[in-house]
Structure 1
């Protein structure tokens, strides 16, 4: 009897080995990246305690709770997934879109409401707004992970609209600073995390495309809001022009609050810090590059209109449309690079676009006619769009453990936000000291180019010197 059992066991082993060989022969060769994706796509397991009553051993069972690491379950399409892109589009419209609109307020404040303040002092309002957008996002990350997404969306929407309405009642610098910089900035920071994080749970292979489409909202918001303000302010005044924008913000944010839903949350709450990230050269170099690039990025957004008016290149009626031209071109700079980035890799995409952004900022020094200024600014908007749309995707690609993507993204944005905070006020101080816009463009261009060189080093650290490798 024992001999027959052992023979049967031998037959089963032989059959199992044969099957394994057949599977191995049929299984295609996978790249290292595909292996990582396959491993991440496996269901998470929980370990059950052994049953003391019957002494059964421990066993692994698939967890019933959805896992953020299960890439195979990511929809990558469908009505619900694309509705998240629509909702995120309007979140970008009312966060980065508001930041991109500040140039029109900068020009108006210099000649009207805050004419007693210097350009540098006025630019602190816009830079603080941008700083709070990114910095508050790092604080609200754990709130998102804890499942309070609806509160972030609702609270952020209320703060943004309330700040815009209060701005219409302001008459002094400190009032404008509290309403426009602090209130709207904090509200935008609450909205920014859901705008990025929710998309990453609905898309994996198409994440750069989806993020690019959503980020286009920031460009279109930056097109529409300046035109609305410029057209309405002379006829109905600053207060009601500002309120009109507030009502538009309310209507578009209602759409986001109605359609956005969380598909899956991380298993645990996000940590504020992941110090192991600073041991990875690619991550450190990319964060440093983003810091310097964003320090110089917004100089044309804030000062292009004043440059055209004060130098006599364009009359005020035409100069007010320069900011809309930058943002309109930036729409394509968010969508097209996002699509191409899914094919060739986001780091491969951002490096040449960022470098051209810095070079174009230098080109403004020699732009002396309205035609040349419009061409340079249109191209600037086109290529600078990648610096807003691609970083979230790049942080995903630089992080193997998807459970800490949020933490590392938050850390990177927090550091980058400091560059946003100080960049345009320094540009204003340079303008005050020299009286020439050429130094402002040189400052912005030099910082953007230097930041790009660091991002290029991050690309080499991540993917080596093979320019054909997808990184």
Structure 2
């Protein structure tokens, strides 16, 4: 039997022990990598869930901001016939116009620096409280000036505080599907414009104006608990953005875009305020179906907020806005020619679809035309502030034209505003890209 020298045995033991130590060290080195991968996967899943929760939260902010603005057509009909019947349609429309004006003005100019300072939750909390309080106070109003203050000013400030968080968070979580995510969130405004008017129409004859408005306020309070719980900004700017950027005013593409959205919002809500009363007064539909024309408008706008935004990620926001505004203009000119229930319903479906895009696509479009992406928040606020003036005066002007020229006046005003908007948006697009048709913009 052959023996192995003791020195070789010692070398073998030493070698084995060294190998085992090296293997252990390698094993220890491999283990953290695996854990890191798992942690990264968990982090990515967590971020994706958080991103989806932002869409849900923004959906309910839109549901209770633009959704409440879309509901005013129902109040317009009620006020004209009951609570404020001594006021003219133009005077009554100022209530909704002030509310919509503050929605964009507060959401554009005032809340931007507050959001940048890290107070997203503060904006959502204050906006929710103010909007609910304003509707509660509306429920006990008896006079015109009281409704102006409660429903126009207080509720307007509240929904204005909610508006910016609903659009400012989306770009932080979505890159390739930014417009689509914004469109899904913006569809909440259309759903609010369906549910709230329906509730008002069904409950007001049964429980009265006061309790019906309180029911709406309670629903607002319940649904606003969702964004209060889940809304969370991913990052905040290292430096606070300026409230106003004078340099961007030297960019023709931005100026033309602002003028375009000004005219677009000036004309957009006219059918939402007056198509129901037109259908009823001209005996195109009965009183019950006439009310639901507003619901049909808002239902169609759900698809108008989602479907075009899906394609906007591929074709560009400006390329979607331009033809859609021209379509709104054509429908605006022709809606008073409807002489049957089927015709007026089709008008509402098409106008709701094409007009719905304007609300949801304006933020992605500002990103496209902004010359400095580090100041896109400032540029968005400037655009919203200027556009809000169109919301403020559009419907009262339509009311004056209604008194002087019948429904022909609001129809011509609506169509002209939308056509002008399309022309200026097209000019903005050409200023940015030149006369090249097949280019994303």
TM-score, normalised via structure 2 length: 0.89
The equivalent of 1:462 in structure 2 is 432
Separation in 2, partners of 1:263, 1:165? 33
Q: Which of residues 121, 132, 142 in structure 1 aligns to 2:102?
A: 132
Larger Rg: 2
For structure 1, the 5+ residue unaligned runs are 1-72
Q: Which of residues 244, 248, 267 in structure 1 aligns to 2:238?
A: 267
Deviation at 1:74, TM superposition (A): 11
Deviation at 1:177, TM superposition (A): 0.7
The equivalent of 2:133 in structure 1 is 162
Report if the CA contact (8 A) 1:75-1:203 is conserved: no
Deviation at 1:391, TM superposition (A): 0.6
* 2:412 is aligned with 1:442: yes
Report if the CA contact (8 A) 2:131-2:155 is conserved: yes
* 2:258 is aligned with 1:294: no
* 2:223 is aligned with 1:252: yes
* 2:335 is aligned with 1:370: no
Structure 1's consecutive aligned runs of 4 or more residues displaced over 4 angstroms after TM superposition are: 73-77
The equivalent of 2:72 in structure 1 is 102
The equivalent of 1:191 in structure 2 is 162
Report 1:306-455 matches (<5 A): 306-434=277-405, 436-455=406-425
Give the 3 Å change call, closer, same or farther, for CA 153–102 of structure 1 in structure 2: same
Report if the CA contact (8 A) 1:348-1:470 is conserved: yes
Give the 3 Å change call, closer, same or farther, for CA 74–301 of structure 1 in structure 2: farther
Separation in 2, partners of 1:455, 1:77? 36
Separation in 2, partners of 1:282, 1:148? 32
Higher helix proportion (structure 1 or 2)? 2
For structure 2, the 5+ residue unaligned runs are 1-42
Deviation at 1:75, TM superposition (A): 9.8
Deviation at 1:365, TM superposition (A): 2.6
The equivalent of 1:229 in structure 2 is 200
Separation in 2, partners of 1:248, 1:468? 46
Separation in 2, partners of 1:281, 1:365? 36
Deviation at 1:464, TM superposition (A): 1.7
* 2:80 is aligned with 1:114: no
Alpha-carbon deviations, 1:300-337, whole Å to 9, x = none?
01111111111111111111100000000000000001
The number of residue pairs the alignment matches comes to: 398
Report if the CA contact (8 A) 1:212-1:389 is conserved: yes
Report 1:63-74 matches (<5 A): none
Question: Any idea what SS the aligned residue of 1:339 has?
Answer: helix
* Aligned-residue RMSD, C-alpha: 1.4
Q: Which of residues 165, 176, 179 in structure 2 aligns to 1:205?
A: 176
Separation in 1, partners of 2:83, 2:313? 45
Give the 3 Å change call, closer, same or farther, for CA 74–330 of structure 1 in structure 2: farther
Alpha-carbon deviations, 1:382-421, whole Å to 9, x = none?
0111110001001111224322111000001100000110
